[in-house]
Structure 1
Amino acid sequence: MIAYDGTETTAPCPWTSGTVRRPGAAARLYCLPFLGGSADFFLPLVRELPGWVEPCPVELPGHGRRLREPAVRDVPELARLLAEVVDRDAADRPFAFFGHCSGGLLAFEAARQLRRRARPQPALLAVSATHPPHQWHLMTAGLGAQPLHRLVPLFRELTAQRALHVSGANAVLKREVSVYLRYRHEDEAPLDCPISVFGGREDTLVLVDALGAWADLSHGRVRERVYPGRHFYVDGQWPDIARSLTRDLREALGPSREP
């Protein structure tokens, strides 16, 4: 199988078939896409990451190359399955999560699933354009209160995403909206890992003012970075995001594992 960077790779399972194998890498970065999106969304990030980070764009059931598979219609269940995959795939190697939009919520819930099982947790949780899970209900309530014309820019951004330009992807998006609108956060102790929070200054879905609440969800250091742009601000910021991610991951690994 050919990986994203053109090199040959073995696929341990459909979830991680896009992993760019770098045997000498210090850590693996599991990347989780937005509502209805595919692993291909992270192609620009893969190209920017240094050799000591092994990129693993995750393909979720019912998405992208797995479009024909049944999708999981419950966030906690999807997080449980993802945690099982990561636990096997990482094989006690250091790893981190990076999720955009709903992918950030899924990454957070997968980290909590791993902790419940007393399994290794991510060295770093990075989230992009993701509303804090314990305030998720505030975002969904705000969406319902907004007039339709206020959401037009967000819909335009979504339809412009190449990761949705495959047969059936728009249907996936419509189906998943209800899945994530039903999500309800359950109170637990904060995570121990640091959290890196990224957002767009003009994002009308995940407001900049809400990002600071991620600090409630970790005992570790929480860094917040805001860029010009809306919900998909990442399209023009991948090089800088990659640099920030690798700096934070290097710090999270600590001196004993620092690349």
Structure 2
Amino acid sequence: MQLNNKWFPFGCNRNLDNVDRVICFHYAGGSTSAFKRWTTSKLPVEFIPVELPGRGTRMSEPCMESFDELIEQLVANLIKVLDYRRFHFYGHSMGAAIAFETAYQLQHRYGIQPEQLIVAGRHAPQHPDPSLFKSYMSDEDLLHEMKRLNGTPKEILDNREIMQFLLPMIRSDYKLHESYNYRGHKLNIPIIAHAGKDDHDANPSIMQYWKDVTYGEFELQAYEGNHFFVQQLGEQYLSELINKVRHKELYPL
């Protein structure tokens, strides 16, 4: 995969046949920076974060609020850079829905599919969103939701200037997420679901229903932490994720 594409700004471009690639899709309000520490060439897996319009290296572009339009553009760009090497999909929260739908479109249109889909911190696509916040609510409600999810440092939440910059982008992602329309399709690949035990919107009992959207194998794994357990566990989680991709012994970081 030669990544000269704005959708993939931090790919390592490692041309090694035995190195698996993991395409990563971030949570609402995030960017590729959520996975930046995973993109080092020192790891035995190549992590390739996807940058959506309107954030990170694409901040000058308007955010997208149509899920179907996003998937259409994403698939068109992804198909240009996929080659013969094995690849996997990983999605956290909103990114889990994007990863699932992208995997289905690749499978349905091109007969190409990732080795597996790993989803973290999101309910299965056939179920309604349990989140109490909706994009039409006030900035105060959105701030309350961010505090509830406990993924944003207090010093950022308390900084009015920063939040005035971030809130429109985060609200736009909620609109994008709300526009997703699951149409009953299934994948033919294994799905691995990672759930935070204290994640009220996506705990293990909620995430178990990802098993119903694939004809492949399903595995559910619970972790200590809330919605942002991925960031909270840090290198411990990354090591276990690498292990899942390589199907080998735990990789020591």
Work out whether the TM-score is over 0.5: yes
CA distance in 1, matches of 2:207, 2:103: 19
Task: Report the Cα offset of residue 72 of structure 1.
Answer: 2.0
CA distance in 2, matches of 1:161, 1:248: 35
Structure 2 length normalisation: TM-score?
Answer: 0.81
Matches within 5 A, 1:1-259: 11-24=3-16, 25-47=18-40, 50-51=43-44, 53-135=45-127, 137-140=128-131, 151=145, 153-154=147-148, 156-158=150-152, 168-188=165-185, 190-251=186-247
CA distance in 1, matches of 2:149, 2:41: 28
Range 149-158 or range 14-23, more displaced: 149-158
Cα separation, partners in 2 of 1:126 and 1:39, compared to 1, 3 Å: same
CA contact (8 A) 1:154 1:205 kept: no
CA contact (8 A) 2:90 2:117 kept: yes
CA contact (8 A) 2:197 2:225 kept: yes
Q: Which residue of 2 aligns with 1:3?
A: none
Cα separation, partners in 2 of 1:120 and 1:215, compared to 1, 3 Å: same
Structure 1 length normalisation: TM-score?
Answer: 0.80
Q: Unaligned regions of 5+ residues in structure 2, if any? A: 135-140, 157-161, 249-253
CA contact (8 A) 2:28 2:170 kept: yes
Residue 118 of structure 2 aligns to a residue whose secondary structure is strand
Bigger helix fraction: 1
Q: Give the alignment's Cα RMSD to 1 decimal.
A: 2.9
Range 68-77 or range 104-113, more displaced: 68-77
Identity, in percent, stands at 25
Cα separation, partners in 2 of 1:241 and 1:86, compared to 1, 3 Å: farther
Residue 133 of structure 1 aligns to a residue whose secondary structure is coil
CA distance in 1, matches of 2:192, 2:118: 4
The amino acid of 1:56's aligned partner reads I
CA distance in 2, matches of 1:115, 1:78: 17
CA contact (8 A) 2:24 2:91 kept: yes
Q: Unaligned regions of 5+ residues in structure 1, if any? A: 1-9, 253-259
Cα separation, partners in 2 of 1:138 and 1:29, compared to 1, 3 Å: closer
Task: Report the Cα offset of residue 177 of structure 1.
Answer: 1.0
Deviations 1:5-32 (A, max 9, x none): xxxxx75111112102222153211111
CA distance in 2, matches of 1:174, 1:166: 12
